[in-house]
Structure 1
Amino acid sequence: MNEAKTINIEVAYALPEQQVIIPLQVNVGTTIVQAIELSGVLEQFNEIDLASSKIGIFGKAEKPDTELREKDRVEIYRPLIADPKESRRKRAEKKKAQAENK
């Protein structure tokens, strides 16, 4: 009997009000995109578009065809709502204005 070796991984997706982590057991050689499809997260969250969504493992961006290893956590990232540089600039301006008014 020739059994395929398996690994344990997780697929994670988060919204502001809800976070989901789906544990899976997959065959060695499974890619990020295959794990996402197997997890059922695409059916659970229709707004996920794998063609435009950034994906990664433990906070590090990875290509969809990256093969997974034991205990990897696949993450699907949502787009940023605000530009981080613009947000920092606005906070700095506000802080400067508050300091001048004192």
Structure 2
Amino acid sequence: MDPAEQAMLRIELVWSPRPGCVLAEPLMLAAGSTVSQALAASPRFALDRAGLEAGGPLCVGVWGRQQALETVLRDHDRVEVYRPLTVDPKEARRLRYRATGRRIVSRHRPLGGRSGA
């Protein structure tokens, strides 16, 4: 690998402009680039950015963990832009229960008792 390739980062930028639609774009950035620079480097993301910012300030993360815009990226990072929640997840579960009349069971916690007891 030549030194010019070593000075470049391969980043994936992922965002959802609307429910049910997820867009991903691979980017090549200079080493030492930040999350903010990754967002600015994508012309496709620029088209959707205004709509995403309408719900409030952008929330971004790297590999599922929320990060500041000044976070320095590493090679093969996945930068994710999160849309603001339109409804509280607990309230959404309550609404689904009322609509179906069935309890929504989590895979992580069995019904009828405490785990580890």
Aligned twin of 2:42: 39
Partner of 1:13: 15
Aligned to 1:58: 63
Superposed displacement of residue 53, structure 1: 1.6
What RMSD over aligned residues (CA atoms) do the two structures have, in Å?
Answer: 2.5
* Pairwise CA distance, 1:95: 3.5
Structure 2 unaligned segments of length 5 or more: list them.
Answer: 104-117
- How far has the Cα of 1:89 moved from its partner? 3.3
* Matched-pair contact (CA < 8 Å) for 1:26–1:35: yes
Whole-angstrom CA distance in 1 between matches of 2:84 and 2:15: 12
Hey, what does 1:80 align to over in structure 2? Answer: 85
- Structure 1 residue 10 displacement after superposition: 0.9
What letter is aligned with 1:75?
Answer: E
Q: d(CA) in 2 for partners of 1:35 and 1:6?
A: 12
- Larger RCO: Structure 1 or Structure 2 (Cα < 8 Å, ≥ 6 residues apart)? 1
- Structure 1, unaligned runs of 5 or more: 97-102
Instruction: Provide the TM-score with structure 1 as the length reference.
Output: 0.77
Identity value in percent: 32
The alignment covers a number of residue pairs equal to 95
Question: Displacement, 1:85?
Answer: 1.8
Q: Which residue of 1 aligns with 2:102?
A: 95
Q: Distance in 2 between matches of 1:57 and 1:28?
A: 16
Structure 1 residue ranges (4+ consecutive) displaced by more than 6 angstroms after TM superposition: none
* TM-score normalised over the length of structure 2: 0.68
**Which one of the candidate residues 25, 29, 40 is aligned to 2:28?**
25
**CA distance in structure 2 between the aligned counterparts of 1:95 and 1:38, rounded to whole angstroms:** 46
